[in-house]
Chains A and B, each alone.
Chain A
Amino acid sequence: MLSNQEVAEALLEKFGDQVFDFEEPYGLLTLSTTREEILPILEYLRDHKTYQVIFLTDLTGVQYPDNTGKEFMVVYHMHSFVHNFRIRIKVSISEADIHIPTATGLFACANWMERETYDFFGILFDGHPNLTRILNIEEMDYFPMRKEYPLEDATREDKIDALFGR
């Protein structure tokens, strides 16, 4: 069984101060890194002889509109089948420079995950082979998951629960 401590120490030894903000919510090893180091870290974990964190479970975005200079975050979840070990890696980027290198070179499944993240958050993955919308219509000219739209008018009467038998 792989311990969080062991992996965290190995990452610190290899990447030094490029990995930071270690946390352990609900036992899930969580850390942050920079745009420059994310691909080497993913590759290191994937190709590690004993850890074998070979599966990219999920890749998605988060937005923190009030976090100036770090408005967006890309989150990578990885999983080692051999040890049943999970790890979460976060990268913060700014809205002014909303670019991050693509992970498609390391994981083929990152292809559509990154397309989805672009579709909903507008995060640009540099080097992606086909960065187009995947779920929404192509004509859409906004990113629906961004926190910049007003909430629904609470006083509207055209779609109240009673009309739907609720």
Chain B
Amino acid sequence: MKEVTIVEAPQGHSGSGFFATSFDEAIGLARSYSLWPLPFATSCCGIEFMATMGAHYDISRFGSERPSFSPRQADLLMVMGTIAKKMAPVVKQVYLQMAEPRWVMAVGACASSGGIFDTYSVLQGIDRIIPVDVYVPGCPPRPEQIIDGLMQIQYLAQNEKLRRRNTDEYQELLASYNIQ
């Protein structure tokens, strides 16, 4: 029987027959191990993500068993590839259709900064239209890097306060992108 790794319990108080922890910890744990990514793949980074979805790298190990090709129930928008200015409204619309809490990962040089396409028709980084949580460098990044990015998102989800998305700071951030 192969040893199975189990997630460690969050910080809390345990006694005989009970375990007490905060909502933040429990819900953060649940969220971080059931992230459903929405792959928004436009180019080569998307191919790299397909390799990450394959059996060898198996992104499903992280509880992201269902790559959601719809904003419905998706938590994590993964933008992979060049986003032309013509595509920008589409990315923004997909982001707006996702429900809170939502995280965004910019995979690869193009999604992060426009990459080598330093030209009039390409959006120089998706953080010009939507807030980004994690940037994955590389052109294209290897599957290990995409997995590392996903683990960074998990870390964020685990340590996020339940009320974070109600704070003025977060509302200001969204307002700066003309969202809501």
Cβ of B120 within 8 Å of any chain A Cβ, yes or no, is yes
Q: Name A residues whose Cβ lies closer than 8 Å to a Cβ of B.
A: 135-137, 140, 144, 152, 158-159, 163-165
Type the 1/0 row for B113-146, where 1 means its CB is closer than 8 Å to any CB of A.
1011010110000000000000000010000000
Interface residue ranges of B46-62 to A (CB < 8 Å):
none
> What are 14 A-B contacts defined by CB distance under 8 Å?
A135-B121, A136-B85, A136-B86, A136-B120, A136-B121, A137-B85, A144-B120, A144-B121, A158-B113, A159-B115, A163-B109, A164-B109, A164-B115, A165-B139
A152 to B120, CA, bound (A): 12
Which residues of B have CB within 8 Å of A158? 113
Which residues of A have CB within 8 Å of B116? 159, 164
Contact indicator A164/B121 (Cβ below 8 Å): no
Which residues of B have CB within 8 Å of A164? 109, 115-116, 139
B118: nearest residue on chain A (CB-CB)?
A159
Given contacts A135-B121, A159-B115, 10 further A-B contacts (CB under 8 A): A137-B85, A140-B120, A144-B120, A144-B121, A158-B113, A159-B113, A159-B118, A164-B109, A164-B116, A165-B139
Q: How far is the CB of B153 from chain A (nearest CB, A)?
A: 23
* Contact count A vs B, C-beta below 8 Å: 23
Q: How far is the CB of B144 from chain A (nearest CB, A)?
A: 15
Type the 1/0 row for B82-120, where 1 means its CB is closer than 8 Å to any CB of A.
000110000000000000000000000100010110101
Which residues of A have CB within 8 Å of B86? 136-137
Which residues of A have CB within 8 Å of B115? 159, 164
A164 to B121, CA, bound (A): 20
B120: nearest residue on chain A (CB-CB)?
A144
B119: nearest residue on chain A (CB-CB)?
A144
A140 to B120, CA, bound (A): 10
Which residues of B have CB within 8 Å of A140? 120
A159: nearest residue on chain B (CB-CB)?
B118
Which residues of A have CB within 8 Å of B85? 136-137
Q: How far is the CB of B124 from chain A (nearest CB, A)?
A: 10
Q: How far is the CB of B94 from chain A (nearest CB, A)?
A: 18
A152 with B121, Cβ < 8 A, contacts A164-B139, A165-B139 known: no
Top 6 nearest A-B pairs (CB, nearest first) are A164-B139, A144-B120, A137-B85, A137-B86, A164-B116, A159-B118
